């Protein structure tokens, strides 16, 4: 089957010098072995990535039901997320639709096929749009599926779109005065060359009585989450940028402190 | 399979195949994503240990391909995995100008191939799979894979004989699609 041409092509293999032997005492393996063999609902994708070896947090990936889309990254700003604001911008619905049209309409799920694993799409649609400066963070949800979508749209430049999500998960509606956290932490897809660096995000569902959610940055600055139609979401520049505690304000004016970064 | 057996099985897969899976992934995705994707592959294996066949390599590559495809999915439209070629110029021995010229032709031809052709060739030339194994990775019959490989090789050969100026025009046309 091999030919001289294929042998010659082997010289152009970008990974031919790559050495990555697996060892029984690798931390990354231990992280995977510590995971339950049945994926829990609403599991988080990898959080902050450490360089060099498999990310420790990658073991928390919803490996049976995840999707990450990375399109061309064109950002080259020395001031990361310069136009970010601690309070989300009020944006007309028409502009919201414009900003979210790049986010697609499906969450991917890896399922068994006759010839091995295949990827299936579950439909989702926007349930919350959080706009801060040039950045739009969109939560999309459908039957047992959700995605988060981050759109960067500087003036006169093509948008950059990154999404991550999960399918085949339970999305039980919270009680009226409760919040659920579906995903939280440093988004691994926001790091790497050509991006503005790490960002921390969190989102989930909000009960009918929840009117507002306010968090605190690790720097001490207050950040107002977006709350709409039974969902809440927030993001901020930097890795691990959000403190775990949030102040929830109910429609009757009362408030309570709760831990929103602990996850489901 | 009890927990101890499962841990032993996955550890065996990790030790025996981590490097191969890492290379497979590194050929197809940006370096900063490799570790995450490899972890996801083995997490899928951990959760589907009962499905892992006796010859696990094609199965692991198939999982890796699906995880990668998920990562690279764009707006609901699937793209063939864009197998990357080595970006740095290959070191050429002194006096080996002909070899260097051949390699430049091959690099140029590779750039002109479709993503699908690149993937088929890479499974054999770089991932070292047999036709049967590569067919399992792509989820097609071995005979189908053989036909695709033959066609891809013919196109690679044809492109390698295209004059440089023509190749540049073709490449610009491809990029404009």
What ipTM is given for this predicted complex? 0.77
Domain span at B157? 97-176
Based on the fold, state whether residues B16 and B67 are members of the same structural domain: yes
- What CATH number has the domain bearing residue B139? 1.10.10.10
CB-nearest to B106 from A8, A29, A61 is: A8
Other residues' Cβ atoms within 10 Å of the Cβ of residue B55? 11
Between A38 and A67, where is the model more confident? A38
Q: How confident is the model at residue A170 (pLDDT cuts 50, 70, 90)?
A: confident
Which three-class secondary structure state does DSSP give residue B77? strand
Q: Is residue B157 domain-shared with residue B111, that is, in the same domain? A: yes
User: Residue B169: its pLDDT value, please?
Assistant: 62
pLDDT surpassing 50 at residue B65: yes
pLDDT bin (cut points 50, 70, 90) of residue A231 is very high
| Res. A75 pLDDT band, cuts 50 70 90 | very low
Shared domain for B66 and B117, answered yes or no, is no
User: What integer is the mean pLDDT of A33-50?
Assistant: 54
Structural domain contains residue B78: no
Mean pLDDT, chain A, whole residue set: 73
Q: How confident is the model at residue B148 (pLDDT cuts 50, 70, 90)?
A: confident
* B101 and B172 together in one domain: yes
Domain CATH for B64: 1.10.1740.10
**Range with the poorest average pLDDT among A55-64, A93-102, A217-226, B130-139:** A55-64
Indicate if B15 and B62 belong to the same structural domain. yes
Q: A 69-88 residues with CB below 8 A of B?
A: 69-71
Question: Residues 154 to 193 of A: which have CB under 8 A from any B CB?
Answer: 161, 188, 191-193
**The pLDDT value given to residue B23:** 93
Which pLDDT score, from 0 to 100, does residue B18 have?
96
B171 found inside a domain = yes
Confidence grade of residue A2 (pLDDT, cut at 50, 70, 90): low
Average pLDDT over residues A109-123: 64
Is A62's pLDDT higher than 70?
Answer: no
Residues B51 and B103 in one domain: no
| pLDDT of B51 strictly over 80 | yes
Residue B30 within any structural domain of the chain: yes
Span A146-158, average pLDDT = 74
Query: Is residue B84 included in any domain, yes or no?
Result: no
Residue burial A171-181, b: 16+ Cβ < 10 Å; e: rest: beebeebbbbb
Provide mean pLDDT across the span A196-211. Answer: 86
How many cross-chain Cβ pairs, A to B, lie less than 8 Å apart? 198
Report the mean per-residue pLDDT for chain B: 77
pTM of the model: 0.48
Out of B11, B16, B126, the one facing A10 most closely (by C-beta) is B126
d(CA A64, nearest CA chain B) in Å: 6
Mean pLDDT lowest among A176-180, B90-94, B114-118, B138-142: B90-94
Number of domains in chain B: 2
Is the same domain home to B122 and B63? Answer: no
Q: Are residues B102 and B64 in the same domain?
A: no
pLDDT score for B100: 52
* Final residue belonging to a domain, choices B72, B89, B116: B72
Contact yes or no for A26 and B85 at CB 8 A: no
Are B106 and B158 members of one domain? yes
Contact B39 A28 (CB under 8 A): yes
- In this structure, are B116 and B154 located in the same domain? yes
Could you tell me if residue B83 is inside a domain? Answer: no
Q: Supply the pLDDT for residue A51.
A: 27
User: Which tops the pLDDT comparison, B7 or A71?
Assistant: B7
Contact A57, A49 (CB under 8 A): yes
Give yes or no: residues B166 and B108 share one domain: yes
With a pLDDT cut of 90, the percent of chain B lying above it is 22
C-alpha–C-alpha distance, residues A57 and B51, integer Å: 25
Average of pLDDT values for B142-169? 79
Residues B112 and B68 in one domain: no
């Amino acid at each position: 089957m091999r030919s001289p041409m294929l042998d010659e092509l082997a010289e152009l293999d970008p990974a031919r010098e790559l050495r990555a032997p697996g060892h029984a005492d690798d931390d990354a393996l231990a992280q995977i072995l510590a995971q339950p063999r049945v994926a829990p609902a609403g599991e988080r994708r990898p959080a902050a990535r450490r360089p060099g070896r498999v990310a420790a947090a990658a073991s928390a990936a919803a490996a049976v039901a995840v999707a990450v889309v990375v399109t061309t990254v064109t950002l080259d700003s020395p001031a990361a997320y310069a136009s970010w604001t601690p309070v989300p911008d009020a944006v007309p619905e028409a502009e919201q639709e414009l900003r979210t049209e790049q986010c697609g309409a499906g969450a991917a799920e890896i399922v068994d096929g006759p010839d091995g694993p295949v990827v299936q799409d579950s439909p989702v649609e926007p349930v919350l749009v959080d706009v801060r400066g040039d950045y739009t963070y969109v939560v999309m949800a459908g039957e047992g599926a959700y995605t988060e979508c981050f759109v960067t749209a500087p003036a006169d430049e093509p948008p950059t779109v990154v999404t991550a999500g999960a399918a085949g998960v339970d999305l039980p509606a919270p009680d009226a005065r409760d919040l659920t956290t579906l995903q939280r932490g440093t988004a691994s897809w926001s790091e790497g060359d050509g991006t503005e660096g790490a960002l921390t995000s969190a989102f989930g569902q909000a009960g009918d009585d929840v009117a507002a959610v306010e968090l605190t940055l690790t720097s001490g600055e207050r950040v107002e989450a977006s709350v709409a139609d039974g969902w809440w979401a927030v993001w901020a520049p930097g890795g691990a940028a959000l403190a775990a505690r949030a102040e929830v304000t109910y429609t009757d004016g009362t408030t309570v402190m709760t831990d929103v970064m602990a996850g489901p | 399979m009890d927990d101890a057996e499962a841990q032993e099985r996955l550890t065996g897969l990790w030790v025996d195949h981590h490097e191969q899976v890492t290379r497979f992934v590194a050929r197809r995705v940006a370096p900063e994503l490799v570790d995450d994707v490899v972890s996801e592959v083995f997490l899928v294996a951990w959760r589907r240990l009962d499905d892992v066949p006796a010859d696990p390599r094609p199965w692991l590559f198939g999982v890796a391909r699906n995880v990668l495809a998920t990562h690279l999915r764009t707006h609901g439209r699937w793209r063939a995995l864009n197998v990357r070629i080595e970006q740095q110029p290959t070191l050429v021995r002194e006096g080996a100008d002909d070899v260097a010229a051949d390699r430049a032709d091959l690099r140029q031809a590779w750039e002109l191939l479709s993503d699908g052709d690149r993937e088929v060739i890479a499974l054999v030339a770089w991932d070292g799979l047999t036709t049967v194994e590569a067919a399992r990775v792509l989820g097609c019959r071995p005979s189908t894979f053989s036909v695709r490989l033959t066609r891809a090789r013919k196109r690679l050969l044809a492109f390698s004989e295209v004059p440089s100026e023509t190749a540049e025009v073709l490449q610009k046309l491809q990029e404009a699609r």
